[in-house]
Amino acid sequence: MTPSAAPLDHVRPGVDRSIRVFLDRQRPLFDDPQLAVLLSTAEDFLSGGKRLRPAFCYWGWRAAGGGEESGLLMAAASLELLQASALIHDDVMDASDVRRGMPSAHRRFERVHAESGWHGSAEQFGEGVAVLLGNLLLVWSGEMWRTSGLPAEALAVAQPVHDHMLTELMCGQYLDLLEQAQGESTFDGALRVALYKSGKYTVEQPLRLGLVLAARGRPAWIDRLCEQYGRQIGIAFQLRDDILGVFGDPAETGKPAGDDLREGKRTMLIARALAEASDAQAEAVRSLLGAPDLDEAGVERLRSVIEDTGALAACEGMIKSYLDDALHTLDQAPIDETARTALAALAVAATARRT
């Protein structure tokens, strides 16, 4: 199957416009020259991205019978603000220098401090401002969701899903930090992180939000579709992300090559590699994974271990299997036919090899 960008392209203009409308509403407060940089940096971080989360929300809404509506696009677009917040905080937590090929938020503010010759630690200033900017985007995401213009009854039904998603997201990121620190690499642990850290809030919950908003309720078929299509695609998406984090082209991932290896991420790739590793291979993983000064040769060595142990092929197999199961579930769901086609294409696009 060839990935089609059509269901993303369909949503993008409305999402972009919604973000502009919301930020314009905030603009008066940021006329203050000292505050302007917060808004402009937020805008910058919101200008990129595939709009995957809004797309799952939008096509969920369409699947349950919703039509073209600006309120839904506003609500869906608010998920991009949540994502921008998570990325900015993530980069602080991982001490990452680069995001989408540009300096990460904390590094940008660190540089402003250093170039201005201000007092105190430039690094601490950069991190502090990035925490606050992430907070701002987090609270704005909630505000944008609630002021989307959707009917109060629809929002009331969806709000518990939204609340749960946020709690789950913070817990998932915590589990990610914990697994990394504990350095354990079990299949279960890796799967749990893949599911909670990213899978759920990338696919399952955005999809559920759209479905519940349109259905104004939560019939059993919605949870079945979310769990058996959304969850599977969410995990497959994260597995693909893990593979890109090790083998991806920096020009495309926007991150330096092998960044996940340098950060010591405990992904399914690593768990699979360790399960099949020879003593020498296991020793290479132990000594190189998470080494802050990991060089290109070290990255290459780890890549070889991941390929030679069959871990890469195993993860590709898992992605294919999750995708097949999800598409099968999707076929059975009592949903709108245009949305069915779009959600199938979206599933493929979210989990496909990028070339």
Which residue, 40 or 182, is less far from a copy of itself as judged by CB? 182
Least separation, in Å, of the C-beta of 223 and a copy of itself? Answer: 17
CB nearer to a copy of itself: pick between 193 and 350: 193
> In angstroms, what is the minimal distance from the CB of 175 to a copy of itself?
6
Closer to a copy of itself at the Cβ: 153 or 295?
153
Interface residues toward a copy of itself, by CB under 8 A:
26, 29, 34-35, 38, 89, 92-95, 113, 116, 118-120, 124-125, 127-129, 131-136, 138-140, 142-143, 146-147, 152, 156, 159, 163, 166-168, 170-171, 173-175, 177-178, 180-183, 264, 290
State how far the Cα of 137 lies from the Cα of 105, in Å rounded to an integer: 13
- Nearest approach in angstroms of CB 226 to a copy of itself is 18
The answer to whether 212 touches 161, Cβ cutoff 8 Å, is yes
Distance CA 84, CA 50 (A): 12
Query: DSSP readout, 208-250?
Result: HHHHHHHHTS--HHHHHHIIIIIHHHHHHHHHHHHHHHHH--H
Closest CB to a copy of itself among 143 and 308? 143
Nearer to a copy of itself, 260 or 336 (CB): 260
Work out the number of other CB atoms within 10 angstroms of the CB of residue 116: 10
Least separation in angstroms between CB 26 and a copy of itself: 7
Identify which of 89, 7, 91 has the alpha carbon closest to the alpha carbon of residue 350: 7
Cβ of residue 338: shortest distance to a copy of itself, in angstroms?
A: 34
Residues 27 and 39: beta-carbon distance below 8 Å: yes
Choice between 180 and 232, CB closer to a copy of itself: 180
> Nearest Cα to 211, choosing from 225, 198, 200, 229?
225
Q: Amino acid identity, residue 289?
A: L
**CA-based max dimension of the chain:** 62
